[in-house]
């Protein structure tokens, strides 16, 4: 079955970076997009961007355009999201999601809690 | 771009039907038939219910239906059961390969 497994929780200092991984299984990795979303405590979801696992093409939300990067490793069926210059407002659960296209995610990872605190 | 507007909370009794609205603009819901809905239980990842306005995701009950009129999309849940409680999120394509989510709606089954 389709499964996305994310890396574990992180605690980071302000100004540093975090890199989260998302391992896909149960489907052909390169035929889909990987979306990235986040959810701050008690808040709704926020779309961050996506990477086409096949072509490597990316699209980033304007809100994060200067400090986010997406990568993928097709040999390992892994996708990565790196967020730099972390601030306390970046404290959130980060999710990856599989998308057949850029319009929705039909399967989600379990989420990765990132806590930014001095 | 601001989030799509959803009611913060809704409630209903078992067996009733209710509708959750999601209001956007001509830049998103009003221009594209790519609205999706997700259900999220506390401490878990969202689960896709509806995509492309009205298409049910695999395994989703026919009690869930989606529609759209102008700049507003709606999710209707019929025959409410306690398992329907949780957070509901709408999402729309917003052009230029971007997405925008709603503020989320908490559903309580009384």
pLDDT at position B1 is 67
Residue A107 has pLDDT above 80, yes or no: yes
User: Cβ contact (<8 Å) for A37 and B101?
Assistant: yes
Residues B35-62: what's their mean pLDDT? 96
Chain A interface residues (partner B, CB cutoff 8 A): 35, 37, 43-47, 50, 59, 61, 95, 102-111
Beta bridge partners of B55: B51
From chain B, pick out residues whose CB is under 8 angstroms from the CB of A46: 101
Residues B90, B37: Cα–Cα separation, whole Å? 5
b/e burial code for range B26-39 (CB count within 10 A of at least 16 → b): eebbbebebbbbbb
The pLDDT value given to residue A102: 81
Q: Which of A103, A107, A108 to mutate: most B Cβ within 10 Å?
A: A103
pLDDT tens for residues A57-68? 999 999 998 899
Q: Is the confidence at residue A51, as pLDDT, over 80? A: yes
How far apart are alpha carbons A11 and A13 in whole angstroms? 7
Inter-chain CB proximity B104 and A35 less than 8 Å = no
Is any Cβ of chain A less than 8 angstroms from the Cβ of B64?
Answer: no
Query: Across all residues in chain B, what is the average pLDDT?
Result: 96
Contact B101 A108 (CB under 8 A): no
Rounded average pLDDT over A100-107 = 89
* Spatial distance between the Cα atoms of A99 and B91, rounded to a whole number of angstroms: 13
Q: CA–CA separation, A112 vs A10, rounded Å?
A: 8
């Amino acid at each position: 079955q389709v499964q996305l497994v994310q890396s574990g929780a992180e605690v980071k200092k302000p100004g540093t970076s975090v890199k989260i991984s998302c391992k896909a299984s149960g489907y052909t990795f390169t035929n889909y997009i990987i979306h990235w979303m986040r959810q701050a405590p008690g808040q709704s979801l926020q779309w961050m961007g996506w990477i086409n696992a096949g072509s490597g093409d990316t699209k980033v939300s304007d809100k994060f355009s200067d400090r986010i990067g997406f990568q993928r490793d097709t040999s390992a069926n892994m996708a990565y999201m790196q967020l730099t210059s972390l601030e306390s407002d970046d404290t959130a659960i980060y999710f990856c999601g599989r998308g057949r296209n850029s319009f929705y995610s039909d399967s989600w990872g379990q989420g990765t809690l990132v806590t930014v605190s001095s | 771009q601001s989030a799509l507007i959803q009611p913060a909370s809704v409630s209903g009794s078992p067996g009733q039907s209710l509708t959750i609205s999601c209001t956007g603009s001509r830049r998103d819901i009003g221009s594209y038939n790519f609205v999706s809905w997700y259900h999220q239980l506390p401490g878990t990842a969202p689960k896709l219910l509806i995509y492309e306005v009205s298409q049910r995701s695999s395994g989703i009950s026919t009690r869930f239906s989606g529609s759209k009129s102008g700049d507003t999309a709606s999710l209707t849940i019929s025959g409410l059961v306690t398992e329907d409680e949780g957070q509901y999120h709408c999402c729309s394509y917003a052009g230029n390969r971007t997405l925008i989510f709603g503020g989320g709606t908490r559903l309580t089954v009384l």
